[in-house]
Structures are given as structure tokens and as C-alpha cells.
Chains A and B, each alone.
Chain A
């Protein structure tokens, strides 16, 4: 018997509602919208960096980033002023790894976050400011027994808060595999790859990874097949690979309008990331509650 249609299953994720996209708990708490976007970006970047240090596959990292984004959305969601982004990032990664095939201990998660938040962290160095002399040393990020225990309590409590806020919907279907399948279906990914076909696949996946940082929260607003189709479209155009001249995306149930929107969204991601990096080159984007309060205060003073 066929499975029932419309299920939350192999191709679909829960999506943010209009309400959730129009107001957020953080904004209601007085976080300016542009700062909120920066914080979301910083959270994704922090999660990505931690995942890489933990040698987790991109699949788990990407899922954790999406979970992180689900938390801070809507008026009933989490607020950056209440739940520090560093804690929510750590809890997202910890929880996502836990249900995967590569669970991580609280100890290794917390050590990595301690390092990434320390002054020697690569995330704390502005590109110009880094002298390259300060090499991260184990001492600076190894947690003492006491700080480990309190950090662990925070991690586990944040995990519960996170789960409660996303109503335990931990499933995140990623578009990556779907994109590769579509490339095969389109006949542009032959069994023995050519230079062009590998470039196309690489570029497609790169767009999908970049989209995780999108200020438009594309992973919360669009289903994986739509993201996959758009990344393929954009990558093929950039590399100059010819795709069928028909409206091939309709085969994958994506309409022209959605495709157009997403291609623009994906295309602008790189530029946005660049400008974020530049904006925060002098200072660093606030990662803790204290840093966030200082930043909000600074803005208040500045705007007088």
C-alpha cells in the first residue's frame, strides 16, 4: 500500500509560517532587524566552525544550522537576548549529532565551543588584525572541571529549551542528495565524471552550503527540491553547462516563479556574506549575552 501523501518524510521539511517570518522574539526584545540578521549569520558560522573542528560531516553541520534557525524564529520562538547564540549553536550541534551516527560527548562539544569563543579563536580575529603569532593553544580552551560542569548544565538545559521551542521536529531533509539525483536525471552527471560535470556538481553543492547562511532563511522557507533545482540552475548558468531547453524544473515540481526567487536569493548570498565579514572586521559579532548587550547599548549611544 502506498504511503499517504503530504507526509513529512523523505522530501519535505516543516516550513516557517508568514507570522513567524514577520515578527521575532528577538525583535520584540529590542534587537534591531539588521543586528538580528548578523546574529543569525554569526550563529551559522559558529556552528559550521565547531562542526569542522569536531570533524563532523557537512550533513550534520547543515542540519544543526537549520535547527538553530528554527529556534530563533517567530514571536513565540527563542530570543537572542535570552538564549545566547553560542549556547543554542552548541545545543543544536550536540542534539543533531546525538541522533546521527556520530554522537559527540558533551566534553568535546564544550571544549570546541570554549576554544571558538576564546580570544585566540579564528572567529575572534578580524582579517587585518590577526598577527598570525597567536597560535591557539590547548590551555586557552580546555575547560576546567568546574567550568565544564556549569557549561554542561547550560548545554543540557538549552537542549531542552530548544526541543520544546521547535516542538521536537528534529528532522531536517537536506537538498544535497536530491540535487545530485536531479543532476543524474538531467543527464549532466555521467557515471564517469568529466571535468565539467564535477565542476557542476561541486558548484551546485557549494550554492546549497552557502544558502545555509542566507539572511532570507531559505532553508526555512523552501522545500529541499526547490533549493536543489535552483542551485543546479544557477551553477549550470555560471559554468555554462547546457541544460534541457524545456522548462525542466517543472518535472521536479518547481514553478518558474519559485525558481526565479531562489536563483536571486542564492546568487546574492555570497555578496551578503562578504559584506557581513566587512561590517564586523573591526569588532566581532556578539556571540555571548554580555557582548550582545554591549552591542545594543553601543548602538543606542551611537544613534543618540
Chain B
């Protein structure tokens, strides 16, 4: 199993990319690529990642990469994999790195289709909780209360930040009963690397949802990325979990640090009222109750005998 010390020196996502200083997304991609190694093909949709790593004539990947459209990460990766199979290169890992918008919103249809067909790809969503590339607009995974440019502040009920709670994408993927679903945070390297390792080793559809703090969009200091990734977990806001062969495991019991500790580091939450903060606290509590119940309820998935007639 890979630990920080065993990680190769070699990078497959290189310096000279143009992500903002302290970009969590760039960190996620760099670490995942270290684990995946050279026998990999990368797909990138329109996103910050595309712009900071694939602006012609430069490209930050040491392995082949494909880019076509925004909402096509899962299907394009699947198409690549199917073709590689025909070419006798089934051992090549095909990974799609997509943002939360490209995953939870516009890309959900293709994602669900690919998951249901159990396409043999690794799908990594780096969740920076908004459409960052287009300038910080809300997405389905933007948390409750957060300021974005499409949930700006004002005196009406429309001016209090985002009015809805974060879409639970991993749970949607679990409902597809794919071989592997996991969430990860940069704040917990051992857990993160263990999951990338597992995801790499498995066959079939694998989904990793990684929280990727964005100093620009979250209105935070550029050196706070790792702290934010830790606090998101320790406050209970972001749950580290793993869903494998039908069994759901909650990987870490958080300390339940007060959510304010996390919120106060981010300008996007500066305006929150006491009421809104209470709502977030309540949401965290309910989420943990539900997820615990879910973990208890979800046993190994029924083994259906599959007859293959030849």
C-alpha cells in the first residue's frame, strides 16, 4: 500500500501548469497521477483543470490525454477504454478527472449511464464546490449558504448565498452498485492514497469524490487548502466513506469540531447569519445519523448467479 514515503519521485502531472497558487484541484490530480503511473490515459472535460493543464501548445500530463466536451467525461473515458480493449491494451488505466459541475450537474447523465454499464474506468471528481472555471458560479455541490457569483448577497431571501444543501453525488453512485465508490480529502493522505490504490487495482466502474479546496472561489488564503481539507472532515461536513461490493464503511469518526472553525476561514461564508449556521450544524447532525444508519443497513450485495451461455 502506498504511503506518502512510498510515493514515486516521478510526477506524471508536471510543474508549469497554470492553476492558481494553492489550488486543491491541482494537488488532487498530481497525487492521483503519482499513484496511477505511466500506463494511463487521461480525460479532461472543460474545467479549471483543462485550462490550467491543457492550453495549447502546452500540456502538463506526461501520459496521453484527451479532451472533447464538458459533460462527456464518463462516456469519453469509456469510449477510450473500449477502444484500448480492442487494441489489446486492457491493462491501461483510463481516468477521467472532472470538476463538480461536470460531474454532479451537466455530466450526471453520462456518468450514470457509464456507471450502470459498469464501464471499466476510474472517475475522479475533484470537488471545488462551484463552477470555478467560469468564475465561481454555484453548482449542485456548492454547500448551503455559500456565496457564489450566481448566489450573490443582497437584502432579499435570494441574497443570502445558496439556499439549497449540497448534492450527495457519492450516494447517487452507490445506488448504481458499482464496484467502488469512495470519498477522500487531501487532509488525510494515508486514507486518500489507500483509496486511489484500491481504485486503481479494481476492474469496472470506480468513483472517487475528492474535496478540492479552491482558495479563489472559497475566498480563502492560498496556504489554507490543506487545513480546509482537514477541517471539512473534522467538522463532519465532509464524510470519508467507502462503498465496496455493497458494503458501506464510514472511514473516520470526526472530532465534530464546531463548523464555525471551518466556515470562518472562508470569505464565501462570511455573511452567514446565526440561523444559517444553525442550519448547517443541524444538517451535519442529520447527515451523520443517516449515513450511520445507511452503513448499518447496507450489507454485502446479493450474489446473483450469472449464467454465461457459450
Q: Do chains A and B interact in one complex? A: no
* Chain B residues near A (Cβ < 8 Å): none
